[in-house]
Chain A
Amino acid sequence: MKESLMDVLCCPMDKSELELEVDERADDEEVLAGTLVCSECGERYPIEDGIPNLLPPDMRDDVPA
């Protein structure tokens, strides 16, 4: 995930801002692993292999918590 895209991302549920927690980077711009956390509802959205999983919780059936 490109960090500059944080500007346009928001929580799919309440459209509030997301905060980025980085576990692994490829470089300054590219986040490979981490979590996007909603600043309002606290919902956590995983970034795995650089792909943010912003599916609402009710659609994230096969993703480990």
Chain B
Amino acid sequence: MGVLEDKARARLFYKYLSKVYDTINPFIWNEEMRTEAIGMLDIERDDRVLDVGCGTGFATEGLLEVVDEVVGLDQSPHQLEKAYAKFGKHGDVRFHLGDAERLPFEDDAFDVVWSSGSIEYWPNPVETLREFRRVCKPGGQVLVVGPNYPKSSVFQKLADAIMLFYDEDEADRMFHDAGFEDVTHRLMGPSYDPDIAITTVARVPGDEDADVDATATSEVEADA
């Protein structure tokens, strides 16, 4: 268990990180990567899109280029202050304070659920992904960007101590356990570190147009 997989610690960490976040952020997650990730989605302008862990609003900004309105959720008021400064409090981004693992949204409420740079702090990633599946419509897409497991052993030790890192096999397992199908991954990063991030897109089963080949996993129901 990494030291940030505790929500109170994560909140304290973010209280201070928010001061420099957008300054250090481009080193791991930049506009090119954001554009590439958005390109993995079937998204229409009037789709209802949820950005879980929207933080200072870096991904939200990219999403607003392809949709009219984004629903943003974050657990940290300090991170959100930065986002308010960019988008206003009552504009095209509808902000909510909330917990990724216990979303305050109805079943099937969204066409797309997006989350970048948040999964590494979730105490129970599979449970949280199940919660994403619950609020996303059948046939809808969930996209998660997280840190790819580092190759160097020094960084592996750091990674294991601080937070959740995962590779493609692990992402595959988590998304299938959470009941998704059509799970695909892409490694991304700046030229000097081209596989620092892993982006996973998966579909919620149940749409009549989609393939019905995920029988084993589609029977896994969300917690009652």
Contact = CB atoms under 8 A, between A and B. Distances in A.
27 contacts: A1-B94, A2-B90, A5-B94, A7-B106, A7-B109, A8-B48, A8-B105, A9-B104, A9-B105, A9-B106, A10-B105, A12-B98, A12-B99, A12-B102, A12-B104, A15-B107, A51-B80, A51-B89, A51-B96, A51-B97, A53-B96, A54-B73, A55-B97, A59-B11, A59-B75, A59-B99, A61-B8
Interface in B44-80: 48, 71, 73, 75, 77, 80
Contacts, number: 61
A59 B7 contact: yes
Main secondary structure of the interface of A (DSSP, over half): loop
B165 interface: no
Contacts of A10: 104-106
B210 to A, nearest CB: 23
A24 interface: no
Interface residue tally on A, bucketed by range:
20 to 34
Contacts of B89: 49-51
A40 interface: no
Contacts of A30: 90
A22 interface: no
A45 B75 CA distance: 14
Nearest to A9: B104
A24 to B, nearest CB: 13
A51 B95 contact: yes
Contacts of A26: 90
Contacts of B109: 7-8
B101 to A, nearest CB: 9
Contact of A54 (B7, B8, B11, B96): B96
Interface of A: 1-2, 5, 7-13, 15, 26, 30, 45, 49-56, 59, 61-62
Q: How large is the interface on B (under 10, 10 to 19, 20 to 34, 35 or more residues)?
A: 20 to 34
A57 B137 CA distance: 27
B103 interface: yes
A56 B95 contact: no
Contacts of B71: 5, 8
Contacts of B99: 12, 55-56, 59
Interface in B111-129: none
Nearest to A26: B90
Contacts of A61: 8
A55 B77 CA distance: 11
B70 to A, nearest CB: 12
A54 B94 contact: no
